Structure 1
Amino acid sequence: MKQDKAEKIIQKAERKAAKAAKQVELAGKKAEAAKQKQAARAEKKAAQVAKNAEKKAAKHAKKAEQATKKAQLAAQKAQEKQAKVAAKIAAKALEGEEDGAGGKKKKGKKKLLLILIPVAVAAIGAGAFFFLKGGGEEEEAPLEPIPIPLEYLLNEVPITALPVTGDEVLVYQEEVPPEPPAEPEAQDGGKDEAGTPGEDGGAPAGEEGGEEEPAAAPAEEELGFTKILYRYEGLKNPRSLATAYAAVMSTEDAGFSLVDETLLRIDPPESYGESGSLQLARNIPAGEDGTGGGVQSLLLSWEGTSCSVLLDMPEGRVHDPKPEAPVSGSTRRGLSDLEAIHPSKLGLPGESMEAYSMIPQEGSVRIAGAVCMRVNIYSAGNQFAGSYFLSNDGKLYKLDEAANAVVELEWE
């Protein structure tokens, strides 16, 4: 009896093991299929990029060939023209030899001109060669798209990247070097361009009493941070993507805040346009050795079907607005004023606030930059009548729960 039971348990275990093995095998096949699909997609994308690069290279090669032909034709015409001029001058020189003694000077002059003509022809040929070899300003190579990044790396600190998917989206990355510092104005030391003494009577360099001390070499100014720009093209709704990303990055976990150009924390606007920009920033604490730290900034811009993210490390600190100066007692409004107001001013029925109870709430909120206290009002029977806010600058607001917004009310 026990043996039969044991055999059943063994058979059951074997069936489970076989089922698990089958599931593992199926999962392996799915993973292999997904891997092959991803590899095929990557290969297709790489082939498309290579094809585009070949087209661009062929286009540039054709332009270079046309420019070469033009330069060769121009050089040939210039040589022919100079040869005609040289032949004409040579003919005049031969005529001058027949003028006798009076024409000897003229003859010498013509020979000098004949010597200069080949030099001019050589100079023109050298210029044409310089043009053909690409002596002019070279065209910058077009940027190649990169794989869609999952993270940005700003000063070796990873940051969650813009959440973008889709084969139709192209991403480009480039560096934005800092602007060079302005050059200081040159000082002539009281001398004109020729090195003669200026109006102050200073002697020119090289004469007694006029030697100038060598100017100290200017201190090398530290260059600013090299910004990193990510440009996304082919997006369906870049405005929604950017604003949703800003909302996620403004959470406590991410630590970013919406700021203005001075790194002052600001409230988000009520709406964004089809094209626009916003800046996110956060403070980074320095390490135990005192290195690192600073501010990380993400400048988001969008327009049409494209969006860009500019990574920067600006100077300064992300900060809150300065607290407003306390208002005078004559303009301050409090619970006593709210108790004395007519209910109609609050959108409530009745002739007196005595029929209502007011319960201040813990904490405070900020409305239009002012700190406000929230007060919930209840009618008879403990029925909720509404939420109101008293600001420290004497303003009164009512919460519109349907619109999830506040409306300013008049006291009088």
Structure 2
Amino acid sequence: MPLLLPPLLLSACGGKDVPPEQYSSNDTALPALTSTLSSENIQFSHKEGSEDQPDSYVYSGLSSMTDTLASYVQALEEDGCSPIDTNGVVKELPDFSVSSGSVSMGKDTGDGGVFQLQIAWEGDTCTITPVYAAELRITQPSVQALTVSEAIQRLKSCTPALLGLSGASMEEYEVYAEEGLVLVDSSPCLQLNVYSSTPRQYRGCYLMTVDGAHLYQLDRDASQVTELTPYSNTAVK
């Protein structure tokens, strides 16, 4: 038997404003906040903009802002949106449990621009401002490449067991980097050779992606690489 959700109760301030089912611009549409609300008696108002200010949609009386925002942003992500900064660079989502905040969810429109929903909340009120930015592009954040010394230190912070080595600590080994980069699955990697300290003897070769996110062991005889997990894959920001 299907589960029936109770109706969503919306009261428009002044009795004139009707909440939209979606926000749209330049043939791109995104679901409205009400698409993820199940049963709440909230107030709605539409603030008309001007030449310099876009329209805004205000929803008040939201009982659980944290859950409301989390559900709505998830729906937007499933619709192809990403949290972005003012330059269109993808960023992490904010903490929705704080009493006030904001986030901009953007989506490429296919014509070179970005349609974004600027979401701001304070207390039990959420304001959504749809904006089309013709010159904006959504890009991924750049990742700083590891220096050779940083890569060596990162490898030495691993346990010998992860690297297939004996001993309790990497202090028993020396690590040297070869010049140049090698490609693993199209990703450039630093090549790090490990030697035992006493006696000095070659113990293995490891390939680390330049962002530090992945670590591989190279079998020189078989010319094969194996990714090592679990590896602390915190990339350098």
Number of residue equivalences = 180
1:228 aligns with 2:55: yes
Amino acid at match of 1:313: Y
CA distance 1:263–1:144, shift in 2 (3 Å): farther
- How far the C-alpha of 1:157 sits from its partner, in A, is 2.7
Q: Hey, what does 1:268 align to over in structure 2? A: 93
Extract unaligned runs of 5+ from structure 1: 1-37, 50-141, 180-225, 287-292, 354-360, 365-369, 377-385, 396-412
In structure 1, which of residues 351, 374, 381 is the aligned counterpart of residue 168 of structure 2?
Answer: 351
Question: Higher helix proportion, which one?
Answer: 1
Question: Structure with the greater relative contact order (CA < 8 A, sep ≥ 6): 1 or 2?
Answer: 2
2:196 aligns with none
Does structure 1 residue 277 correspond to structure 2 residue 96? Answer: no
RMSD value, Cα: 4.1
Q: C-alpha displacement at 1:229, in angstroms?
A: 0.9
Deviation at 1:374, TM superposition (A): 5.9
Aligned mates of 2:85, 2:58 — CA distance in 1: 22
- Judge conservation of contact 1:298–1:311 (CA < 8 Å) in 2: yes
* Residues 49-128 of structure 1 aligned to structure 2 (within 5 Å): none
Partner SS, residue 387 of structure 1? coil
- Unmatched segments (≥5 aa) in structure 2: 1-6, 171-183, 188-210, 218-228
Instruction: Name the counterpart of 2:50.
Output: 177
Quickly say closer, same or farther: Cα 1:345–1:156, change in 2 above 3 A.
Answer: closer
Task: Work out whether residues 40 and 62 of structure 2, in 8 Å CA contact, stay in contact via their aligned partners in 1.
Answer: no
Where does residue 372 of structure 1 map in the other structure? 213
1:241 aligns with 2:68: yes
Q: For residues 244 and 309 of structure 1, do their structure 2 counterparts lie closer, same or farther at Cα, with a shift above 3 Å needed?
A: same
Match of 2:28 in 1: 157
Aligned equivalent of 1:388, options 208, 231, 236: 231
In 1, Cα distance between equivalents of 2:114 and 2:62: 29
Which letter does structure 2 place at the counterpart of 1:299? Q
Cross-structure match for 2:119: 300
CA contact (8 A) 2:44 2:59 kept: yes
Going from structure 1 to structure 2, the CA distance change for 1:352 and 1:391 (only over 3 Å counts) comes to same
- So what's the TM-score if we normalise by structure 1? 0.36
| d(CA) in 2 for partners of 1:297, 1:172 | 20
Per the alignment, do residues 283 and 350 of structure 1 end up closer, same or farther by CA in structure 2, a change over 3 Å counting?
same
Aligned partner letter, 1:262: N
Q: Deviations over 1:79-116 (max 9, x none)?
A: xxxxxxxxxxxxxxxxxxxxxxxxxxxxxxxxxxxxxx
Amino acid at match of 1:159: L
Which has the larger strand fraction? 2
Q: Which residue in the other structure is 1:333 paired with?
A: 152
Shift of residue 146, structure 1, vs aligned partner: 3.0
CA distance in 2, matches of 1:389, 1:145: 56
SS at match of 1:317: coil
Structure 2: how far apart are the matches of 1:266 and 1:249? 15
How much has 1:392 moved relative to structure 2? 6.0
CA drift at 1:309: 0.8
| From 293, 299, 320, the counterpart of 2:140 | 320
Q: TM-score under structure 2 normalisation?
A: 0.59
Q: 1:334 to 1:390 in 2, by over 3 A?
A: farther
Alpha-carbon offset, residue 236 of structure 1: 0.6
Find the aligned partners of 1:271 and 1:231 in 2 and give their Cα distance. Answer: 17
Partners of 1:264 and 1:303 lie apart in 2 by 25
The structure-2 alpha-carbon separation of the partners of 1:328 and 1:166, relative to structure 1 and needing over 3 Å to count, comes to closer
Aligned residue identity for 2:51: P
